[in-house]
Amino acid sequence: MGGNHYKQRLRTWLHKADIRIDGDRPWDLRVRNADFYSRIIRGGSLAVGESYVDGWWDCDQLDEFFARVLRERLDKRFHTLVNRLYNLKGLFLNRQTSARSFQVVRRHYDLGNKLYRAMLDKRMIYSCAYWRGANDLDQAQEVKLDLICRKLQLEPGMRVLDIGCGWGGAARFLARHYGVQVVGLTISREQAAMAREYCRGLPVEIRLRDYHALDERFERIYSIGMFEHVGYRNYRSYMQIIRRCLDDRGLFLLQTIAGNKSLHSTDPWIERYIFPNSMLPSAKQIGRAFEGLFVLEDWHGFGAHYDRTLMQWYANFEAAWDGLRADYSEQFHRMWRYYLLVSAGSFRARSNQVWQILLSPRGIAGGVAAQR
């Protein structure tokens, strides 16, 4: 099958999203290698990402390119044998065991605090910000943290668990502004070391450990941006652990990225290069996981806010690149740009979601007032 045939097929697909090959608009793609067409038709979404990192094609506005592709569901056109193999792995293997969880730490979270310090807000919160009433990233992350605290109805002296505490930004905020005692869990040595220093002098304990063996009581539990690494085979056991550790009158808040369909694997490029063994849950999968264990108090969606968050991370990353290039290759530069902008496009297209879900073991008498 000739290269012109592949090119014409791609041109026809992209026309549906008003994208042109070698066009002059910011979201049009420019091809640098004639073998690009056959490579992506045969290799699917994995090849799309790899060929971009290799410099085979460019686009001035990758985020808008992918927003248009995803709105038209053109990603389904690229479901090749590679994608099917990843789906089968996810279906038959538990890729999110405790031992495997350290793979994503090495590949992603231990890339270096210098990178994340340059890209994120002053508290280094690596999850979707909440932009209601906020003018910049620092403020938007503070608004998000305060929203979580209000939903959890925190009171001074409460014992609170943070599952996946990152660099300690949330734990520090809760301890300083709401007077609670926080235990933060992370399996990243780099995160743990920085979190301990950042929270020094506050009633915050940072533990370098996994959540699986936890068996102690807390009045409140929250997890921000960690559930994406749990995996559908482990959703139920995760909720059972939360229930075991949560006071009968307690509250649990889960913030997670999510998908619109129940799947058993993630995108092959994201799996290989960014988040090994990750998986986005669906509403159905989350609901089944907590059914019979918790009462649903509130379900708040604000996925559109992640588009703006990611675009700010991207702007920070690009602005800091001259200071980062000594530690990271130009190939990493293209890979990280692709990751941030593809992700922004997915939230702009509403292909991915962000949810904050508030659960109680026995139901709050009279219900809870929705905090927004």
CA distance 42 to 198: 48
Residues 6+ positions from 97 with CB-CB distance below 8 Å: none
pLDDT of residue 76: 77
Each residue's pLDDT expressed in tens, for the chain with a length of 372 residues: 456 888 998 999 999 999 999 999 999 999 999 999 999 988 888 999 999 999 999 999 999 999 999 999 988 766 654 455 545 454 455 554 555 445 545 555 567 789 999 999 999 999 999 999 999 999 999 999 999 999 999 999 999 999 999 999 999 999 999 999 999 999 999 899 999 999 999 999 999 999 998 999 999 999 999 999 999 999 999 999 999 999 999 999 999 999 999 988 788 899 999 988 889 999 999 999 999 999 999 999 999 999 999 999 999 999 999 999 999 999 999 999 999 999 999 999 999 999 999 999 999 999 998 999
Structural domains of the chain, with CATH: 3-79 (no CATH), 92-306+350-360 (3.40.50.150)
Strand, helix or coil for residue 350: coil
pLDDT for 315 equals: 98
Classify strands 352-360 and 295-301 as parallel, antiparallel or unpaired: antiparallel
Give me the pLDDT at residue 135, please: 95
Instruction: Answer yes or no: are the C-beta atoms of 359 and 222 closer than 8 Å.
Output: no
Tell me if 348 sits within 8 A of 307, measured CB to CB.
yes
* Distance separating the N- and C-terminal Cα atoms of the chain: 55
Three-state DSSP at 247 gives: strand
Between CA 1 and CA 38 the distance in angstroms is 9
Length of the chain: 372
Q: Say what the pTM is.
A: 0.91
CA distances to 160, 261, 267 from 11, in Å: 54, 28, 23
Determine if residue 350 is left, alpha or beta; phi over 0 gives left, psi from -120 to 50 gives alpha, anything else beta: left
For residue 30 the two structure tokens come to 């420019």
Centroid of chain to Cα 180: 27
CA dihedral 190, 196, 199, 204 (to 10 degrees): 120
- Residues 83-94 as b/e (b if ≥16 CB within 10 A, e otherwise) read beebbeebeeee
CA distances from 186 to 164, 183, 194 (A): 5, 10, 11
Contact 182, 204 (CB under 8 A): yes
The answer to whether residues 45 and 75 touch, using CB atoms and an 8 Å cutoff, is yes
Q: Which residues pair with 163 in a beta bridge?
A: 185
